[in-house]
Amino acid sequence: MNIQFISSLAHNIAFGKTFLKTLHSMNVYTVDEEKIRSSSLDLEEFTNFATYLDFPKLIPKNEIWLSESNDESENNFFIQNALKQVQLVNSGETSLDAYHKALQYEKSLREKQNNFKYKPWQQKTKTIYKSIYIKLLKSDHNLKIYLVDGNKVRTMFKTDFVEGGHGYVYNWIPLNEVWIDNDIKQDEIKFIAHHELVERHLMKKGRSYDEAHDTASKKEFEMRQN
């Protein structure tokens, strides 16, 4: 039996891979993102969607994988972003240039659909923030962890905001707050919050984002295994 077929079948079962539709010769699937992120340290970086450009050893070239917990109203943005990235790379663009151009394309789609223009951070208002917060998850020593509307954050602040964030990475999140994307499954909130807290602590002490993120990812994965 073909080894590639066996590998594909194993992924279908292990990651809950479910066919959604075909667009421009690309097959779109939903997958269980929690199982993917918990399967290896490298795959812990899987977010709302991905293609072979992100995980060449996992995802076939003609497939787009969407997290099954995504807000369905956002899936078209993710699909269009993925299609644009693949199209640009196939036409000779580097993966990095394709990523940024596709991100700008997604941003324009969000602005058009929501009739909203991204504003400079200094124009942020309490009204904007109030609509983002969903629930206070924890408050300790003046540090607050909030569940936020990830769709609104991606539409109003940063298109590639995923899973969570804090003020030492994003200047539009108050320094005493950690934000967790509401697209995250309930069971995963503790893992993502742990990641953000470790990363925030290290950056507050002066570590670079890359160093802090790598350490936080390892700690998150260890927590997932336990």
Residues 7-24: pLDDT tens digits? 555 566 689 899 999 999
Identify whether the C-beta of residue 113 lies closer than 8 Å to the C-beta of residue 156: no
Counted domains in the chain: 2
Pairs from 156-161 (Cβ < 8 Å, separation ≥ 24): 156/116, 156/118, 156/119, 156/128, 156/132, 157/118, 159/103, 159/106, 159/107, 159/110, 160/103
On whether both 88 and 166 belong to a single domain, the answer is: no
**Average confidence (pLDDT) over 188-206:** 96
Across the beta sheet with 177-181, what order do the strands follow? 133-140, 143-148, 177-181, 164-166
- List pLDDT tens digits, range 145-194: 999 999 989 988 899 999 999 999 998 899 999 999 999 999 999 999 99
Tokens of 197: 């807290």
Whether 194 and 140 map to the same domain: the answer is yes
Same domain, 43 and 80: yes
d(CA 102, CA 90): 13
Q: Residues 76, 79, 81, CA angle at the centre, nearest 5°?
A: 110
Same domain, 106 and 127: no
Given this model, what pLDDT does residue 120 score?
47
Instruction: Provide the token pair at 157.
Output: 């602040």
Range of the structural domain that residue 14 is part of: 3-114
CB 50 within 8 A of CB 65: yes
Of 59, 89, 114, at which residue does a domain stop? 114
pTM of the model: 0.87
Question: Domain check: are 27 and 97 in the same one?
Answer: yes
| DSSP reduced 3-state for 60 | coil
**Mean pLDDT (whole number) for 124-132:** 68
In a shared domain, residues 202 and 187: yes
Enter the tokens of residue 5. Answer: 């077929």
6 has a pLDDT exceeding 50: no
Task: Write the CB contacts of 172 (distance below 8 Å, at least 6 apart in sequence).
Answer: 121, 124, 157, 158
Quote the tokens at residue 53: 């450009």
Give CA–CA dist 102/116, Å, rounded. Answer: 19
Confidence (pLDDT) at 56: 94
Structure tokens at 185: 């499954």
Say if residue 68 is in the same domain as residue 10: yes
pLDDT tens digits for 81-95?
A: 999 999 999 999 999
* Residues 142, 182 share a domain: yes
The single-letter DSSP state of residue 170 is -
Helix (H, G, I), strand (E, B) or coil at 33: helix
